[in-house]
Structure 1
Amino acid sequence: MQGEMMAELPGMPSLGEGWLRSYIAKAGTADVVRGDVGRGARWWQSLFDGVARQSEGRLDMLQQRMVRQVRELGTAFRFPGEEVERPWPVSTMPLLIGEDDWAIIAAGISQRADLLERTLDDLFGEQTLIAGGALPAALVTGNRAFWRSQIGIKPPGGYHLHIYAADLGRDPSGQWRVLDDHVRAPVGAGYALENRLASTRLFGALQTRLHVERLAPFFSAFREGLSAVCRRSEPRIGLLTPGRYNQSYAEQAHLARYLGLLLVEGSDLAVREDGLFVRTIEGLKRVDALWRRIDSRLLDPLAFDAGSAIGVPGLMDAMAAGQAVIANAPGAGAVESTAMAAFLPTLARRLMGEDLILPNIATWWCGQDVPRAQVEARLDELLIAPAFSETPVGLQRGRPVLASTLSGEDRARLVEDMRRRPMDYVGLEDVHLSTAPVVLDGQLVPRPFTLRVFAARDANGEWTVMPGGFARIGDESDARATVMGEGAFSADVCIVGNRAVEPVSLLPQKLPIRRNPGTLPSRAADNLFWLGRYLERGEATLRLIRATLGGSIVADGGAALVPLTLDRLGTMLIASGAAAPLVHEDDEDEDDLFAEDIGETHDLRELALLALDGDSSASVATLMRHARSIASGTRDRLSADVWRLVDAPLPKAQSEDAEATLARAIELQERFLALAGLAAENMGRTAGWRFHDLGRRIERALWGCRLVRCFGGDDASSDDLTTLLDLCDSQISYRARYLTGLSLEPVRDLVALDPFNPRSVAYQLEKMALHFGQLPALGDDGMAEPHQMIFYRIDAAIRTATADTLDAATMLGIENMLSDLSNAIGSRFFLQGSEGLRMAGMTLA
């Protein structure tokens, strides 16, 4: 509010203008804001004014709001070797670039992508560049990303590159220089998109007032470009991911969802008769193109690294036959090496007859005598970097280093290895980077930045450049700043113009209406099914914990439930796997966990605590870990709300007493109920939802059988029946229906046989019948499949049962059949590895 008051005083600058003047005063001459304002640009003034209005003078609060937006979007990444994802760090302040400067950058990026495409075409074709001496043979053949097996193979569609990225730096003079090329599997387009989404949510109409170019046309062009080189008019395109533990898996899931691509792993795919197929619940379905995010070496164990466990055997055969487009083609990494940059200026003149619009930072490859001598003579002035992707012995961390900053031992090691294997090293010009504003500790401060820019082929095969990208902001002031490290930020990059930008969307103006939800890969169905089972199991376990603690807390000198009922609750916690069994010397029947003569009452508080936080196979903590792992591998099919609830940590224990544990159980159960509500109300009624709901229904029916066995026996007490109704959430239904009190057979009927009770076993079977009626069949002969036959037997057993005959043996038989049904569903629908790719009736479509 203080900023608004200052803006009203005559002759006083606005808060935003004051911030801008203060920032320019402390920024160096190489700062991008200082340079743009010095040339008369007005966009930074508009941005600072907008930030001032949004923050009301509190930049720290604005940064906190940005962090919340990122978490709501689910944007995350991992550092190498880490298992836990981190929120993607986004700076509040975007990087603004004027449209005139951007026109030069876009032209330079398109030119560079075209140059790399022509170079690859020659390297895997006639190889005139090597024969003519423009490229040293050792530079190509010494690169592990160059695959001789690809020589002479023309990629389907004719292009090696479909998407390209480059890291740029702005030097103190204001010139943009290329720091790195990325062609194997460029990372970051999804982060650029998510940065823009977060920034738009934070600033709203400010971007419209700044005339910021939109990103949607770039992604639309990329999708259309991939489709154009496929053989079918409506191709099926997949994004091939290394899996959920990859550093940028969250970005990949977001891109697949945004672009409408199948997110697939190697185990989802199979090659048959030189065609590429995805394993789905309906059989094998043709895949026309893959946007790969795994290294070429791991793509096909039959063509490259035989030890690869994440590739697709025979994929290169499908590509060579023209049946599968791979973006980017294997071997593209041959032009990605740092050493290649030393030769690109010459190649541009030879292949294109022009100089590079965006020059490299000066690079010397030590594999040649003259450049090596120059690097040795200027060792303390240059950055020393790996020539290829492998880390040489002299560079411990695999990143560029300034030799002048090394200790005596490290410097000696570097010099020794450079003389022993000079071809593994390059020298790089130590270009200092421009700075841009970032919010730190509530203050605007200048920090060095690099810019990652993306280009993709459109439907005509021409390069289109994303109008933006993402900036990496850190502490390093030279080329080492291209890596996202500890303490670094990313920032949205906005291209600002002088005219209003027309609203656009990823969707074309005219699109034929369709209600087919698309292809469901077997792995995704498997994940959704087991996610449903684990979540339902967790909710049932929490009901047990609540009943155990609620029934054991002493009130007026006595427990709420009789000891035998309490002991059965403890036994259920053990039988379910939620808590480890407590061993007693006088146990007479260790095999029957539902034995009537249990013996000494369990320590219920300890069992409940173990069931909540312990490491048993079915404790709530373990089930949540399983659910989180499964959900992370199906993130492209789950909403951000579902992922946030699954990914949230368990409530921390404030104490271990019964009341505190009960309070945590109640809090957690509310989370599970929210997840169930999201699944019931927010998930589209697709095959994916059916498998998720099937998992829940089977798990709920299994628990219903177990609860009736334990608490609904012929000797059940009133406390047993009360507990059974509570655990099946049927207390209100029973009281409304029966006014004379508890009776065994009516309770049994309500929780097991009543098809109108949403918690009964019979109700779960009715819902399962609806799902099975909608899921695809293998053949058209009308004969029941194995999983259907098992289901019919279960359904008949429940329909013909009566409450007076519903004993433990009957419920155990139904429980066992339900387990068989779950296994049969997995065998039929969840095809993986080398399992039945050609099951009877399964067609290649």
Structure 2
Amino acid sequence: MASAVADTGFDAAAIAAHWLTAYRAATPANDVLYAAGLDDPAWNAALGELAERTGDDLTAARERAQRHAEDIGTGFRIAGEGEERPWPLSPVPLLIAKREWDGIVAGIAQRANLLESVIADCYGAQTLVRGGSLPATLLTGSPYFLRPMMGLEPPGGCHLHFVAFDLCRGPTGEWRVLADHLRAPAGAGYALENRLAMARMLGGLQNRLNIERHAPFFAAFREGVAARCRRTDPRIALLTPGRFNPSYAEQAHLARYLGFLLVEGGDLAVLDDRLYLRTIAGLKRVDALWRRVDPRLIDPLAFDSHSAIGVPGLIDAMAQGEVVIANSPGSGLMEAPAFAAFLPRLCTRLTGESLKLANIATWWCGQPRECAEVAADLDNMVIAPAFGVATNVLGDGAAMLGSRMSAEMRAALLADFERRPQDYVGQEVVHLSTMPVVADGNLAARPFTLRVFAARAADGHWHVLPGGFAQIGEHPDARAAVMGEGNWSADVVIHGDKAVAPVTLLQPSDTTQLRRNPGTLPSRVADNLFWLGRYLERGEALLGVVRALLGHSISADSGAALAGDTVRRLVGLLVSAGAAPAPDSLSRADLTRFAEAAMDSADDWRGVRAINRQARAIGAVSRDRLSADMIRLLDAPYPVRGSALDRAGSLQRRYSALAGQSAEHMGRTDAWRFHDLGRRVERALTTLSALQALAHPQATSDDLSALLDLADSQISYRQRYLTGMARVPVLDLIALDPGNPRGVAFQVAAIGAHLAALPVLSDDGIAEPQQALAAELTAMVATAQAATLDLDALFAMGRTLGDLSEAVARRYFLHGSEPLRAAGLVVG
């Protein structure tokens, strides 16, 4: 601390003590920081570290934490919204001592084992129902009870692999369970990202507090899933609903961190009761899925026949033991709040123990006595749907405080109790403990809940993530029922007296089999990266035409006008590309409006803005394949200020940065090959279009100069030829010179090299269609002569390029059932 004082000119310890004293003076006694006391070494260390980093400016600390979260790429989406929001991270972590945490861990492990036993019985012998411990209505009335799972023993013998629980800390410090998350528990990725951000924010805290690390938990989960697969070196995938899922960013981060393939239902196919991934090299076996898709949608043959995101036959493959699904479909049955009313008795019956972590008190209204108690005490209850879905009165399924119900709603609820009491539960109103958060430049107390995660390890035991994440209420009201959107999150730090050994998911170097093949590339991913390359090149080409229209790069006067015929041909390039409708005239004003339309066109035109939107959408589903810097460039706001020429220049610099990212930072894998292949195909096509428009037999100096601008070859040409503009030398440089990186010949050579390196489906040595077309195109360019190169030859090259692009799509971007019928199919 002394070094910080010397270097920065302030006393971090004094600042932390001031924060602590001021906070305690305005905070209730049930607050976690208040309860710890003024002399607690952990909280003093955390606040001191924060003061060392940011001084006494807590607003700056909050902004800094948020920047770290955004740099990592953390984001989430509210259902119904198209754009992601940044993940809200508080700079103040929640501190829990190891002794207290050990009690939580024991309670979580007990609860996870109890839920596993009840789920297994519900889908098996159903002794709990037959013995009267569970009402049959809890099964038959629940939308999450999946009858096709009856009698199906999951591979490895367990339904649950990864679970989450929402906990609350009561006014006297006791921990209780608010909710169970079993269907597709979300949030572990956010807990991991919170820890990464806070490690940057408060880097010295790890060693000062001996903080428990997250890596062993994720390693245990990965090993636990692998241990239940039949193959010793299994292929594991994370099944996502896609980029519009609220937690897609988290899923992509987890897949990358764990080394799982990020797949969608369309990437998968079942053949002979085995699950396969559609890849550029054929079908590849998948042994396990970490499911983040609604279980009712994962197999249209077994559950919802209208599902378009599932995998037909997946449950059959699971039934045969050929694929592990974590968690097993139907396990969400136990999420229903109605079950919470029965868990205490079930725990005693099945384990001989009481619950170590109690539920919040719950009364299921499907029982007459309990329903009467709830009706008589509405003002002191939270009313919630018994099965987590909408009811006649509660509408969208949200819980509601009885004391806040209008007279009309109260009457409607009591009437519905008479008709369908089984649809409701009453729960006690929980008053939460508070923790510090930065608000209005000060530390302020806000209520919080804690989401805790547990994973089944290879030995079958539960490992609990040391920390999870805290969700912090936006308002001081400490009732759990009012927690909702707009909350903050905080890292949760488990600290102790013993040093924590550094742990990583990386295996020891002497036990890891070396590999230079980066792994399997799904066809969908190859398709996305190919079109990302094409869209980026297409946008850059359109910007080049806009800039040529609005200002000539060689002229000393950047606003000098081109000849009318040249302008007309440039306009034709934009019109033929579908960027904008033709202008009324070639006046400067009309051309400016036309250029602006080509940049900012509406959805029914394929202008720069629309192309930019397409590229951004592909980036959104490629988070596990692209760097954070590349994602940020794709997500950058579209420029709206300045002249059209200024904005075109700004966008073109952004496209250049994206090209640099792909050229210098993407590994030379098949993923990069498809991205670069898309770039080369599009650049060759747009260059050929420019050649056909501007290199005609009667081309003028303006035509040729504009063509050199579009091909970014002005300097090359003028260094090589000092006699002025001539058609044949320009044609040779742009169409046929293999050393010009912006020319057609260079693109054709790169296309051929990529297709020669990509996998083929047979080993007979005969070229596949896309390779044959590349060879044909190479021959067309190699045998052409600039002096005799006419428009028909240029058109033929463009047509062959188009055929080649379609052949690439047919070969590698397989859709529907086609890969199951393809001759020479590779299965591995």
TM-score scaled to structure 2, two decimals?
Answer: 0.96
Aligned to 1:525: 526
Do the aligned partners of 1:386 and 1:424 also contact (CA within 8 Å) in 2? yes
Do the aligned partners of 2:365 and 2:426 also contact (CA within 8 Å) in 1? yes
**CA distance in structure 2 between the aligned counterparts of 1:119 and 1:379, rounded to whole angstroms:** 30
Aligned to 1:123: 122
Aligned to 1:489: 488
TM-superposed deviation, 1:600:
8.5
Matched residue type, 1:531: L
**CA distance in structure 1 between the aligned counterparts of 2:709 and 2:571, rounded to whole angstroms:** 16
TM-superposed deviation, 1:840:
1.3
TM-superposed deviation, 1:120:
0.9
Aligned to 1:811: 794
Question: Aligned pair in 2 of structure 1 residues 488, 558: CA closer, same or farther (>3 Å)?
Answer: closer
1:192-231 to structure 2, matched below 5 A, reads 192-231=191-230
Question: Aligned with 1:358: secondary structure?
Answer: coil
Aligned to 1:100: 99
Question: Aligned with 2:435: secondary structure?
Answer: strand
Do the aligned partners of 2:13 and 2:51 also contact (CA within 8 Å) in 1? no
TM-superposed deviation, 1:482:
5.7
Aligned to 2:617: 629
Aligned to 2:688: 705
Do the aligned partners of 1:431 and 1:478 also contact (CA within 8 Å) in 2? yes
Question: Aligned pair in 2 of structure 1 residues 602, 704: CA closer, same or farther (>3 Å)?
Answer: farther
> Relative to structure 2, which stretch is displaced further, 803-812 or 553-562?
553-562
> Relative to structure 2, which stretch is displaced further, 405-414 or 384-393?
405-414
**Structural RMSD (CA):** 2.1
Provide structure 2 residue ranges, at least 5 long, that are not aligned to the other structure: none
TM-superposed deviation, 1:740:
2.0
**CA distance in structure 2 between the aligned counterparts of 1:666 and 1:50, rounded to whole angstroms:** 44
Aligned to 1:618: 606
Question: Aligned pair in 2 of structure 1 residues 318, 369: CA closer, same or farther (>3 Å)?
Answer: same
**CA distance in structure 1 between the aligned counterparts of 2:469 and 2:445, rounded to whole angstroms:** 17
Question: Aligned with 1:635: secondary structure?
Answer: coil
Aligned to 2:398: 399
1:448-463 to structure 2, matched below 5 A, reads 448-463=447-462
**CA distance in structure 2 between the aligned counterparts of 1:564 and 1:770, rounded to whole angstroms:** 39
Matched residue type, 1:618: R
How many aligned residue pairs are there?
A: 821
Do the aligned partners of 1:563 and 1:601 also contact (CA within 8 Å) in 2? no
Question: Aligned pair in 2 of structure 1 residues 23, 708: CA closer, same or farther (>3 Å)?
Answer: same
Question: Aligned with 1:836: secondary structure?
Answer: helix
Do the aligned partners of 2:364 and 2:386 also contact (CA within 8 Å) in 1? yes
**CA distance in structure 2 between the aligned counterparts of 1:427 and 1:61, rounded to whole angstroms:** 43
Question: Aligned with 2:819: secondary structure?
Answer: coil
Question: Aligned with 1:454: secondary structure?
Answer: strand
Runs of 4+ in 1 over 4 A off after TM superposition: 3-10, 552-558, 599-602
Do the aligned partners of 1:553 and 1:560 also contact (CA within 8 Å) in 2? no
Indicate whether 1:649 and 2:637 are aligned.
yes
TM-superposed deviation, 1:511:
1.7
**CA distance in structure 2 between the aligned counterparts of 1:816 and 1:482, rounded to whole angstroms:** 59
Matched residue type, 1:109: I
**CA distance in structure 1 between the aligned counterparts of 2:13 and 2:204, rounded to whole angstroms:** 23
Question: Aligned with 1:492: secondary structure?
Answer: strand
Aligned to 1:582: 583
Aligned to 2:16: 16
Aligned to 1:568: 569
Do the aligned partners of 2:71 and 2:628 also contact (CA within 8 Å) in 1? yes
Question: Aligned with 1:603: secondary structure?
Answer: helix
Question: Aligned with 2:380: secondary structure?
Answer: coil
Match of 1:683 among 666, 680, 692: 666
Do the aligned partners of 1:433 and 1:477 also contact (CA within 8 Å) in 2? yes
TM-superposed deviation, 1:419:
2.5
Matched residue type, 2:571: G
Do the aligned partners of 1:165 and 1:453 also contact (CA within 8 Å) in 2? yes
Do the aligned partners of 1:6 and 1:14 also contact (CA within 8 Å) in 2? no
Instruction: Among all aligned residue pairs of Structure 1 and Structure 2, give the percentage whose two residues are the same amino acid.
Output: 55
Do the aligned partners of 1:552 and 1:566 also contact (CA within 8 Å) in 2? no
Question: Aligned pair in 2 of structure 1 residues 339, 128: CA closer, same or farther (>3 Å)?
Answer: same
Question: Aligned with 1:837: secondary structure?
Answer: helix
Aligned to 1:44: 43
**CA distance in structure 2 between the aligned counterparts of 1:810 and 1:385, rounded to whole angstroms:** 72
Matched residue type, 2:597: L
Aligned to 1:190: 189
Note the alpha carbon deviations across 1:202-227, whole angstroms, 9 max, x for none: 11122321211110110011001000
**CA distance in structure 2 between the aligned counterparts of 1:557 and 1:68, rounded to whole angstroms:** 39
Question: Aligned pair in 2 of structure 1 residues 552, 9: CA closer, same or farther (>3 Å)?
Answer: closer
Aligned to 1:559: 560
Aligned to 1:545: 546
**CA distance in structure 2 between the aligned counterparts of 1:685 and 1:7, rounded to whole angstroms:** 45
1:294-443 to structure 2, matched below 5 A, reads 294-443=293-442
1:128-277 to structure 2, matched below 5 A, reads 128-277=127-276
**CA distance in structure 2 between the aligned counterparts of 1:601 and 1:819, rounded to whole angstroms:** 35
Question: Aligned pair in 2 of structure 1 residues 6, 574: CA closer, same or farther (>3 Å)?
Answer: closer
**CA distance in structure 2 between the aligned counterparts of 1:623 and 1:772, rounded to whole angstroms:** 26
Matched residue type, 2:86: P
Do the aligned partners of 1:361 and 1:429 also contact (CA within 8 Å) in 2? yes
Indicate whether 1:289 and 2:288 are aligned.
yes
> Relative to structure 2, which stretch is displaced further, 828-837 or 752-761?
828-837
Matched residue type, 1:92: P
Indicate whether 1:695 and 2:696 are aligned.
no
TM-superposed deviation, 1:580:
1.9
**CA distance in structure 2 between the aligned counterparts of 1:7 and 1:219, rounded to whole angstroms:** 38
**CA distance in structure 2 between the aligned counterparts of 1:842 and 1:139, rounded to whole angstroms:** 47
> Relative to structure 2, which stretch is displaced further, 382-391 or 12-21?
12-21
Match of 1:661 among 644, 661, 680: 644
Matched residue type, 1:608: A
**CA distance in structure 2 between the aligned counterparts of 1:642 and 1:648, rounded to whole angstroms:** 10
Question: Aligned pair in 2 of structure 1 residues 750, 695: CA closer, same or farther (>3 Å)?
Answer: same
TM-superposed deviation, 1:36:
1.9
Question: Aligned pair in 2 of structure 1 residues 175, 427: CA closer, same or farther (>3 Å)?
Answer: same
**CA distance in structure 2 between the aligned counterparts of 1:180 and 1:258, rounded to whole angstroms:** 27
**CA distance in structure 2 between the aligned counterparts of 1:203 and 1:323, rounded to whole angstroms:** 45
**CA distance in structure 1 between the aligned counterparts of 2:202 and 2:581, rounded to whole angstroms:** 52
Question: Aligned with 2:624: secondary structure?
Answer: helix
TM-score scaled to structure 1, two decimals?
Answer: 0.95
Note the alpha carbon deviations across 1:823-845, whole angstroms, 9 max, x for none: 11011001122223231111221
Note the alpha carbon deviations across 1:151-202, whole angstroms, 9 max, x for none: 1110001110000100000000100000000011100000100111111111
TM-superposed deviation, 1:439:
0.7
Question: Aligned pair in 2 of structure 1 residues 8, 558: CA closer, same or farther (>3 Å)?
Answer: closer
Do the aligned partners of 1:169 and 1:434 also contact (CA within 8 Å) in 2? yes
Matched residue type, 1:539: E
**CA distance in structure 2 between the aligned counterparts of 1:550 and 1:558, rounded to whole angstroms:** 5
Do the aligned partners of 2:146 and 2:330 also contact (CA within 8 Å) in 1? yes
**CA distance in structure 1 between the aligned counterparts of 2:747 and 2:619, rounded to whole angstroms:** 24
Question: Aligned with 1:14: secondary structure?
Answer: helix
**CA distance in structure 2 between the aligned counterparts of 1:281 and 1:553, rounded to whole angstroms:** 45
Provide structure 1 residue ranges, at least 5 long, that are not aligned to the other structure: 585-598, 655-659
Aligned to 1:589: none
**CA distance in structure 2 between the aligned counterparts of 1:130 and 1:482, rounded to whole angstroms:** 35
**CA distance in structure 2 between the aligned counterparts of 1:375 and 1:463, rounded to whole angstroms:** 36
Matched residue type, 2:253: H
Note the alpha carbon deviations across 1:99-146, whole angstroms, 9 max, x for none: 011000111111100000011111111111001111111012111111
1:59-74 to structure 2, matched below 5 A, reads 59-74=58-73
Do the aligned partners of 1:6 and 1:13 also contact (CA within 8 Å) in 2? no
**CA distance in structure 2 between the aligned counterparts of 1:557 and 1:314, rounded to whole angstroms:** 63
Do the aligned partners of 2:389 and 2:396 also contact (CA within 8 Å) in 1? no
TM-superposed deviation, 1:405:
1.0
Indicate whether 1:728 and 2:715 are aligned.
no
> Relative to structure 2, which stretch is displaced further, 507-516 or 641-650?
507-516
